[in-house]
Structure 1
Amino acid sequence: MGTYGYISIIAMVCYGFMLLMFLTAKRNKIVNSFLVVLVGLLFWAGGSAFMRVHLWPSYEFWYQVSLLGILLLPYAYYCFILAFGGVKKGLPGKIYLAVMLICFVVNIRHGVFLGCPNVVEKNGLPTFVYEIKPTILVLFFPAGIFLIYLFLILVRICKANPNMKVQYEPVMAGVLVLFAGNMLLGIPFFSGFPIDILSGVVNVFFLFYALIRRRLFRLQMLASPSLCYGVGFLFSVIVFLNVIPYLQKIFHIQMNKNTTLYALAFAIVFLVIYALFTFLWKLLVRSVFVREENYQTEKIREFSSAISKTLDLNEILDKTISVMKELMDVGNIYICMQDAPGQPYRGVASDQPLNDLTFTMEEENPMIQWLKEHEEPIIYRDFRYTVEYKSMWESEKHRLDKKHIRYCAGMKDGECLVGVILITDASAKKRLVYDEVQLISSVTSVASIAIKNSRLYERARQEARTDEMTGLLNRKYFYEVLNEELEKNREASLALAIINVDDFKLYNQLYGVKEGDLCLQRIADIIRSSVGESGYTARYGGKEFAVLLPGYDLFSARNMVESIAKQIYVMNNRRTDMKLKAVTVSAGISAAPYAARNVKELMENVDLAVYHVKHNGKNGIQVFDMMFRNNSEGNNTRNHTHIYQEYESTIYALTAAIDAKDHYTFSHSNNVAYYATSLATTLGMNEDMIEIIRQAALLHDVGKIGIPEYILNKEGKLTDEEYEIIKGHVEASIDIIRHLPSLDYVIPAVIGHHERYDGKGYPRRIAGEDIPLTARILCVADSFDAMTSKRCYKKAFPIEVAREKLLQDAGRQFDPDLVYKFVECLDNDSITLVKAEETVDNLKEML
């Protein structure tokens, strides 16, 4: 076959190899134009090689194929260079293609431009001799003009974007090599050597390198199954053609020209060669070309798996920075995030804790706008030649240049750019690695999805925690915050205020529900701005707001609530569109641990304080304190010590009804009132709470009015059914009291006076400090009087026996702290045993 034939076949294999690779690659205009170049080179090299080996059908046919390839190459390069530079094709290219095709067709029929060569013997070898005619200029002159035009286009592209000069360097080097290879054919030294075909192969590899730099082809594609099988087939054909003579000689001697076995043996040998070359190609590509890409792919897969398991934004950003530092040799990495549309992008994360994160990038920054419109990262060196860079402020350019930015990448949530990654150079002299851009794209794509999920989760979490109308915390989440803050402030003060809007139903009736909603929103804004970062604000109810102030004492909390109340009172004065009535509020304040030991007590105390303000004429602030009283100040204040006197007649009417049914129940209630109020006084409770406990004690058994007398006065043991009826007196008491709104403040004490500290009581089976303090006090007083009083079914226990029974059940039936305090009062005679005659006197006095 000769040197020329072998090199030509190798060139065809290379062209075919490239063609297979790019047929399996992702298609775009540049890749398609490169395929046109490959087809032209394949026609030229293949036609020339097959012509010299006189392959079927004839050397004249392959000559025409080779000539067609030569004529089409300028147009192929024209398509490639324009697509590579992002320039649309023009009319000159179409004219050249049409002229060349016409000339080619004419030349086939008549050979007027360059006829088919003649075959002559020279030194025993067939040689092709061409008859050069002046008409050949008709072919080469338009081609020369067209190449000059193509060169001018290239100069114009590089002038418009100087950075494209770097991109075109491999392309121009390939064209020069191709041109030089054809010029060297005229030198005698290269006579008989296919330097032109070899230069074509080198040219293709230069173009291939240019595409890799533009990230239009990845080496990992070399390991694709279709390419491996294609390459194995090409190499198998070449090797098989060279071993055929040896196979013919061997099989001719050993098998006596048995054609069936001859064909079978040839097929087996070809399959073995094919399998061997396919395996070797896969091994070569995977171990040499794509090892790094496989490593990067595995790391990105691990990164994707890791951040898919978290919804914490800071953890996602840290893992994003970590994987970039691991896979790329770069300097510092900064991540800037936007809190909300319209706000600047500020630094939130970096690879070094001491890096400056105070810089910001405005949303109007041209680089930000470019990242919004494009999916790929910015190579900052390339970006400096763009119009967007030139339109940036000098301060913005200086800030980026000072940090030696290398890449800029965007992280998107749909169409919204939520973050920007800035990557700096490790060294100013380090050359750009274009594969890094694809790597950054992969990492940011995965990170963007994780950030989107994190933001969706945070948005849903925020919506679940906040009130839709006011934007404050909702009641459910406020309770969570209250419990957390109470635990944090065990050794400090925690103030709680409830602000209730007065006569809000009337406000809605006067101005409508829509205006009422606006009123609540304005109140929420006042509360939020007043509290700021000092505490938490929540919409506690329909017209109630809660303010939690960690570290605040009662007096500082009162000052803040007073300021809020004043702002609410005058807020409607600012309305110019309509005249609205002034809005007032009733507020209650309490604090832990001074006035409450747990969340339940704290909430009950604040609710009670609000209740007092409401019954005191509204538009006021009441501070609830267990250790001392604070009367509300201002106009129309009343003495809360006497607020309950207006309910005395109702209470006495109910107690008289009890007495008509059961004298014991009435006297027992009076005794319990004495013991309970005495214990409350010893505990240091304020007068309001003592009065509430007294009234609750008088009414705690009012439900026994509905119990049959034979059960109340039964001397023997009650049956299970009768005991269940007796237990129902608690619910009966509540049913009576709840129809008296002026007395509903005693319900917590009444409903819980038969609950046990260990949770085995009734009716709700609650335990410990979940039982209201007033109810726990009633429980001790009720049990002590039941033990020391004579009843129809038992005798009275001595005080010493009752004392011991209280101590035995401390922590089980009773609150141990209350029991110890009660026993202490018995021991020092601050609480004395009530005599029967004293009870009768009290009864007569009350009635």
Structure 2
Amino acid sequence: MIQIPYIIVPVIALCCYSFLLIMFMAAKKSKVIYSFMALLVAFIFWSSGSLFMRLQAVPGVNFWYEVSIIGLFLLPLLLYNFVAAFIGQKGYFLRIIYTICTAAILLAVHFHLFLKHPTIEIMADGQPHFIYDITWPVIFPMIFSTFVVISIIYMVVKDVKTNKMNFERFLPILIGIIILLIGNFMDVFPVIGEFPGDTLAGIINAGFMVYALYKRRLFNLTLLVSRSTSYIVTAIFVFGIFAYGIRPFERFMVGAYPWMAAYDTLIIAVLFAGISILAFAFTKKLLDKIFVKDELAQAELLKYFSQEVSKSLNLDDILTKLVYVVQKGVNVEKIYVCLPDEQAQCFQTVHSASPLDSKTFQLSFTNPCVKWLISNNTCMVVKEFQRTIFFKALWQDEKKQLEDLDIECLVPLKCDEELAGIVMLSRKMKNRNFSFDDINFLDSVNSVGSIAIKNARLYEKAYLEARYDDLTGLLNRKYFYETITEEAQKAANNSLALLIMNIDDFKLYNQLYGNREGDMALRNIAQRIMGCVGSQGIPARYSGKEFAVILPNFDAFSTINLAENIRRQVANMTEFDESAVIRTLTMSCGICIMPYTATTV
């Protein structure tokens, strides 16, 4: 039987690469994910070809040698493509050059210009020994690989200099590449012996790349560590330990305690069962603590949020629940909710997690952040936004605003492709990054919250239109009657004054100067009434040319003074308009006061 030293290493490597490839097939695809999957295929070719060649598996040593070499020489090109996609490099010139060079190298390898098929020599112990005939032209693919690695380092350094905040996201990839190079150089030194350092380095490198992808939130970690896959990996781990450790343990046990020789099978069986139970219990506890608990908590928050906002059309109530759910689900320090102002010129801060937070922050509709949120259907993480052309288009004071508020993430509240609002989040507690699960949770909150906010604003608009006069902005006649009835009930033990004002000869005014001038006069009169009354009363447009003011706690003297003030203001409203001297308007006023001159409405 053919025995390969340290066979467990290439077997684990092949299993890991295959497992990652299968898992990423179910992930949401992007250029980065596709490039990483191509890199995994090259690693699979390399490790499987080397393993099956040493096992002399069908269809033969030469075939598996070719497979291994193809995977090995594809690695530099695919590694460059992965890093380029990871940082968003748009140039294709070097990729085309490297692709042509790689194709030429593979063609040369096929015709044995660099390496010939290995010859097999049977050793004294009956085990095969592979002898490689390496010719001097092999220096060309080595130079090419070195040049590709230098290009990768240059590309990373250039991007880091352009965006100083992005070095952390490259660090796992750089560490993985360094470990991969060290692992391959290990094979040169005889001290290492037959240990497959290059294969082990490949496994570690792939792990660092997966970590870098996770930090970029390009896939969900639960995709790789679901319950079923975690239990399978645990089972393989336990069986692997016993497969390679049972014989040494048995020899140690019998040598140290000879009396156990009669019970060695029973002892090993009990030990295997105990370790298996402990391993699976630990795996279950780890999954529940790290993943399931957080997922269930976020799912419960979404359920609560959906149920609560479906019961209310009050905008303040919806915004309060929105802030509560986001703060509990993502664990951020500060939250600001911005909604479009009445003129639809900017997004104004209307709600926050704390009543002490400043609400002066604004985002204009022309702000690059707003444009990015409109063109994308997901959250904007500021650290990643900093490497886009949109960030470079921000004014310095706009960048400073985000920095002063410590904004780390912007959540668009989009409904039917319309940006109904923006939720701005500060950094997370303990300076943690926003994870893939956090972004998914915020996207779900966006789906529910945007519809609720849009419905609440539509209701608010309909509410105002039903109660207020379009032309003057005062209460209309219908709602005036409702309001005066309510105020009369409140003023059971206090006075309630009613002031009615009629514009003199307003029909003639319209006939002489036109309806446009008449509408302008009505708006001006309404503004002066509101200015005189302030918060002391409730003004309304009673009819076409009549206005009414409800005055709680006013006596006759105060009401007369107010009426005289309004009459004087209206008479003088064209004082500074020389062309409007002949268009002076006057008003006739009447007052009624409960309970002195009336007992009912």
Scaled by the length of structure 2, what TM-score is found?
Answer: 0.80
Question: Do 1:539 and 1:546's aligned partners in 2 also have CA atoms closer than 8 Å?
Answer: yes
Which has the bigger relative contact order, CA under 8 A and spacing at least 6? 2
Residues 203/572 of structure 1: CA separation in 2 closer, same or farther (3 Å cut): same
Counterparts of 2:49 and 2:488, CA distance in 1: 89
Distance 1:343 1:560, change over 3 A: farther
Pair 173,294 (structure 1): closer, same or farther in 2 beyond 3 Å = farther
For 1:421, the aligned partner's letter is M
Given candidates 23, 44, 67, the residue that maps to 1:65 is: 67
Give the equivalent residue in structure 2 for 1:290. 291
2:112 pairs with 1:111:
yes
Aligned-partner SS, 1:587: strand
What is the aligned partner in structure 2 of residue 349 from structure 1? 352
* 1:533 aligned counterpart, secondary structure: coil
Summarize the Cα distance change of 1:143–1:218 in structure 2 as closer, same or farther, 3 Å threshold. same
- Once the two structures are superposed, residues 726-751 of structure 1 have per-residue CA deviations (whole angstroms, 9 ceiling, x without a partner) of xxxxxxxxxxxxxxxxxxxxxxxxxx
Greater mean alpha carbon deviation, residues 285-294 or residues 185-194 = 285-294
| 1:196 correspondence with 2:187 | no
CA distance in 1, matches of 2:295, 2:310: 22
Match of 1:16, as an amino acid? S
Q: CA shift at 1:134, angstroms?
A: 0.2
What letter matches 1:465 in structure 2?
R
Contact 1:475 1:538 in 2 (8 A): yes
8 Å CA contact 1:119, 1:129 repeated in 2 = yes
CA deviation vs aligned residue, 1:508-560 (integer Å, no higher than 9, x gap): 33333333333323322332333232222222222222211222222222222
Q: 1:472, 1:537 within 8 Å by CA — same for their partners in 2?
A: yes
- Tell me how far apart the structure 2 counterparts of residues 289 and 41 of structure 1 sit (CA, whole Å): 30
Q: Choose which of 81, 86, 89 in structure 1 pairs with 2:88.
A: 86
In the other structure, the counterpart of 1:546 is 548
Confirm or deny: 8 A CA contact 1:161 1:386 kept in the other structure.
Answer: no
1:179-216 deviation line (CA, Å, top 9, x unaligned): 12111122335433322222211111111111111111
1:591 paired to 2:573: no
CA distance in 2, matches of 1:150, 1:356: 45
Match of 1:610 in 2: none
Tell me the secondary structure at the aligned position of residue 163 of structure 1.
helix
Q: Is the 8 A contact 1:406 1:423 kept in 2?
A: yes
| Distance across 2 between alignment mates of 1:584 and 1:384 | 62
TM-aligned CA deviation for residue 358 of structure 1: 5.9
In 1, the alpha carbon distance for the partners of 2:285 and 2:353 equals 39
Contact 1:347 1:360 in 2 (8 A): no
Work out which of the residue numbers 562, 578, 583 in structure 1 matches 2:564.
Answer: 562
Kindly tell me: are residues 535 and 205 of structure 1, through their superposed partners in 2, closer, same or farther at Cα, counting changes over 3 Å?
Answer: same
Of 19, 25, 28, which aligns to 1:26?
28
Q: Check the 8 A contact 1:223/1:285 in 2, yes or no.
A: no
**Which residue matches 2:464?**
462
Shift of 1:382: 6.7
SS at match of 1:597: coil
1:409, distance to aligned residue in structure 2 (A):
4.6
1:42-85: CA deviation from partner (whole Å, max 9, x where unpaired): 12112222222223222212211211111111111111111111
Give the letter for the 2:155 counterpart.
Answer: I
Structure 1 residue 447 corresponds to structure 2 residue 449? yes
The verdict on how the C-alpha distance between 1:142 and 1:380 changes in structure 2, with shifts beyond 3 A counting, is closer
Structure 2 Cα separation of the partners of residues 395 and 492 of structure 1: 53
What does residue 320 of structure 1 align with? 322
Distance in 2, Cα, partners of 1:200 & 1:60: 23
Alignment-derived partner of residue 209 in structure 2: 207
DSSP 3-state at the match of 1:595 = coil
Query: Partner of 1:35 in structure 2?
Result: 37
Deviation, 1:344, is 7.2
Distance 1:578 1:35 in 2: 78
**In the TM superposition, what are the counterparts of 1:152-163 in structure 2 within 5 Å?**
152-163=154-165
Change (3 A) 1:159 1:395: closer
- Equivalent residues of 1:384, 1:390 under 8 A apart: no
Q: CA deviation at 1:576?
A: 5.9
Contact 1:495–1:551 under 8 Å retained in 2:
yes
User: Does the 8 A contact of 2:498 with 2:593 survive in 1?
Assistant: yes
RMSD: 3.7
Q: Which amino acid aligns with 1:583?
A: L
C-alpha contact 1:34 1:80 (8 A) present in aligned 2: yes
CA distance in 2 between partners of 1:95 and 1:505 (Å): 84
Q: 1:76 to 1:174 in 2, by over 3 A?
A: same
The 3-state SS of whatever aligns with 2:187 is helix
Instruction: Please give the alpha-carbon distance, in whole angstroms, between the structure 1 residues aligned to 2:567 and 2:26.
Output: 74
CA distance in 2: counterparts of 1:95 and 1:230, whole angstroms = 45
Structure 2 residue aligned with 1:641: none
Measured against aligned partners, the alpha-carbon deviations of 1:366-414 in whole angstroms (never above 9, x if no partner) come to: 76776666665565667788895996667984x7666665555555575
Checking the alignment, whether the CA contact within 8 Å between 1:20 and 1:230 is kept in structure 2 is no
Matched residues in 2 for 1:92 and 1:402: separation? 41
Please say if residues 412 and 419 of structure 2, whose CA atoms lie closer than 8 Å, have aligned partners that are also in contact.
no
Work out whether residues 45 and 197 of structure 1, in 8 Å CA contact, stay in contact via their aligned partners in 2: yes
Determine the C-alpha separation between the residues in 1 that align with 2:494 and 2:180. 85
Q: Would you say the 8 A contact 2:20–2:224 is kept in 1?
A: no
Aligned equivalents of 1:360, 1:453: Cα separation in 2: 24
* 1:508 corresponds to: 510
Identity in percent: 36
Q: Does 2:426 align with 1:423?
A: yes
- Quick check: 2:166–2:383 contact (8 Å CA) kept in 1? no
CA distance in 1, matches of 2:92, 2:346: 45
Q: Which residue of 1 aligns with 2:184?
A: 182
Name the counterpart of 1:138.
140
Match of 2:524 in 1: 522
Equivalent-residue separation in structure 2 for 1:155 and 1:395 (angstroms): 27
Shift of 1:567: 2.9
Task: Choose which of 166, 169, 172 in structure 1 pairs with 2:171.
Answer: 169
Partner amino acid, structure 1, of 2:119: N
Partners of 1:366 and 1:553 in 2: how far apart? 56
Aligned 8 A contact 1:345 1:419 in 2: no
- For the 8 Å contact 2:467–2:475, the answer to whether it is kept is yes
**Based on CA coordinates, which of the two structures has the bigger radius of gyration?**
1
- Aligned pairs for 1:711-730 (under 5 A) are none
* Structure 1 contact 222–285 (Cα < 8 Å) conserved: no
- Could you tell me how far apart the structure 2 residues matched to 1:472 and 1:492 are? 25
User: 3-state DSSP class of the match of 2:593?
Assistant: strand
Number of corresponding residues: 552
State whether residues 407 and 424 of structure 2, in contact with CA within 8 Å, keep that contact through their aligned partners in structure 1. no
Tell me, in whole angstroms, the C-alpha distance in 1 between the residues paired with 2:530 and 2:115: 91
Secondary structure of the corresponding residue to residue 535 of structure 2: helix
Deviation of residue 161 (structure 1)?
0.9
2:249 alignment partner in structure 1: none
Q: Distance in 1 between matches of 2:396 and 2:137?
A: 61
2:223 is aligned with what amino acid? M
Instruction: Return the letter of the residue paired with 2:325.
Output: V
Aligned partners of 1:346 and 1:359 also within 8 Å: yes
Separation (CA, whole Å) in 1 of partners of 2:346 and 2:98: 55
Q: Quote the Cα distance in structure 2 between the aligned partners of 1:67 and 1:515.
A: 88
Q: Which stretch has the larger CA shift, 388-397 or 411-420?
A: 388-397
C-alpha distance 592-338 of structure 1, shift in aligned 2 (>3 A): farther
Residue 112 of structure 1 aligns with an amino acid whose one-letter code is: L
- Aligned equivalents of 1:383, 1:9: Cα separation in 2: 41
- 1:717 aligns with none
Instruction: Give the direction of change, closer, same or farther, for the CA distance of 1:45–1:281 in structure 2 (3 Å limit).
Output: farther
One-letter code aligned to 2:461: R
